[in-house]
Each structure stands twice: as structure tokens, then as C-alpha cells.
Amino acid sequence: MKTKIKDASITIPLPGDKERLLQLLKKEAVSKGKITLSSGKVSDFYIDARRVTLSAEGAYLCGKIILGMVKDDVVDCIGGPSLGADPLVGSIGVLSFQAGKPINTFIIRKTPKTHGKQQQIEGPSLKSGHRVVLIDDVATAGNSLVQSLEILKAIGLKVSKAICLVDREEGAKEALASHQCQLVSIFDRSDFIRLRPRSCLATARREGFGG
């Protein structure tokens, strides 16, 4: 007998869900100081999103918000590069099932396995023509998302949208756009880095401070 659970309200984000997720990220995931990112760029802040996406509340909020972002899309499966997508797909799979609209998920290894079936894509079978939404936790230059996009397109999947938890606004959106894929983010750089008002910046420059 198949398990039957149906509560569509589970995947409808509440007004405070996004703000609560942002609070969790700021409290648990953001650290300041010089650090080299996976893209090779040096940044003055770092977002270790898995400190939130692997927590019970964080996983729930991420899955709920992402499902709300694709509710009007025709989607056969959702997934993305490991490790960023791993906790997200788990939450999305469970919540979509509870809502009575199950969506299969998958993860993409950085390199194919060297044993067994030597797969690079893990999860339920994907078929040519399936409509896919890519997801990741943090997007910087977009290298992992673009690589994932190319792997999926190579087996005939249709990818028109990518969703990330945080867009650091360092080229990912443009990189994906060049592959005819839109990047949509829940948050972006400005949500974590306070920008000085233009008047303050002009004053600082007149007084010899700032670029």
C-alpha cells in the first residue's frame, strides 16, 4: 500500500518565512574576514550555507520557499551540484510529497563514480525531455551551476531556470544567461553587506577615504 499524505499548505510560504531564513543565515552562516572562495576569488565575507540548510528549521524553510518559487512552473525534477544541493533536495522531496505533488530530485557529483555504474547523476532515472530546475545554495561565478547545466543538457534534459539560496552577484547570473538559463535567488549580496548611502560615500571620497 502506498503512503498517502496530502497537505498543500505545507509548500505555501508564510510572510515571515523568508525573513526567518535570512535571520538564520546571518546568525549561523555568515563570517567576516578575507577568504578564498571556490571560484578562486578573494572575498571579505563568507557564507557557509550548510550550517543552515542542514539544520531542521533551515532545511524546512529552504524547501518550502523553493517549492513556492516553482509552483507555477511545469517541473519534472529538481536538483543540482553536490554538496550545495544535497540538503535542499532532501527537503524539497519530502515537502512536495507531503503536499500531494511529489517532485523527484537528484544530485550531480563533481566527477563520475569510478565503480558500480559510474554514474555522475544520482537519483531516480531522468529521461530526455524532462523539465528540470537547477538548485544550489550559494552562487558566486556560477561555475558549478554551468557545469551541471551542461551535464543535464548532454542527456537531453530541458533546463530553463536555476534557483540559489544566495547570489553573491559575482558573475553567476550572467554565466547562466549565456546558456539560456535564468538564475533566480532568494537573497543576494545586498542582504548581507550593508552598502553605504551614496551621500556618505561621496563625503568619504572628498575627505580622502574610500576608492
Does a structural domain hold residue 61? Answer: yes
Cell of 47: 557564507
Per-residue confidence (pLDDT) for residue 3, from 0 to 100:
63
Higher pLDDT, residue 8 or 161: 161
Does residue 110 register a pLDDT over 60?
yes
Residue 3 is assigned to a structural domain of this protein: no
Is 211 part of any domain? no
Share of the chain above pLDDT 90, in %: 73
pLDDT of 40 reads 76
Domain that holds residue 113: 8-206
The number of folded domains in the chain is: 1
Residue 5 neighbours by CB distance under 10 Å: 11
Residue 126 domain-assigned (yes or no): yes
Query: Is residue 180 domain-resident?
Result: yes
Q: 121 or 200: whose pLDDT is higher?
A: 121
- Across all residues in the chain, what is the average pLDDT? 88
Confidence of residue 4 (pLDDT cuts 50, 70, 90): low
Residue 135 lies in a domain: yes
In order, the DSSP letters of the chain are -------GGGGS--TTHHHHHHHHIIIIIEEEEEEE-TTS-EEEEEE-THHHHTSHHHHHHHHHHHHHHTTTS--SEEEEETTTTHHHHHHHHHHHHHTT---EEEEE-SS--SSTT--SEESS---TT-EEEEEEEEESS-HHHHHHHHHHHHTT-EEEEEEEEEE--SSHHHHHHTTT-EEEEEEEGGGTSPPPPHHHHHHHHHTT---
pLDDT of residue 121: 96
Looking at per-residue confidence, does 202 or 54 come out higher? Answer: 54
For the domain that residue 198 is a member of, what is the CATH number? 3.40.50.2020
- Give the tens place of pLDDT for each residue, 119-172: 999 999 999 999 999 999 999 999 999 999 999 999 999 998 999 999 999 999
Indicate whether 139 belongs to any domain: yes
- Asked if pLDDT for residue 1 goes beyond 70, the answer is no
- Residue 47, CB-side half-sphere exposure with 13 Å CA sphere: 25
Inter-residue contact 37 to 43 (CB < 8 Å): yes
Q: Is the dihedral of CA 126, 129, 131, 136 positive or negative?
A: positive
Task: Establish if 1 belongs to a structural domain.
Answer: no
In this predicted structure, the answer to whether residue 92 has a pLDDT above a threshold of 90 is yes
Q: Is the pLDDT of residue 190 over 70?
A: yes
Dist CA 66 CA 70 (whole Å): 7
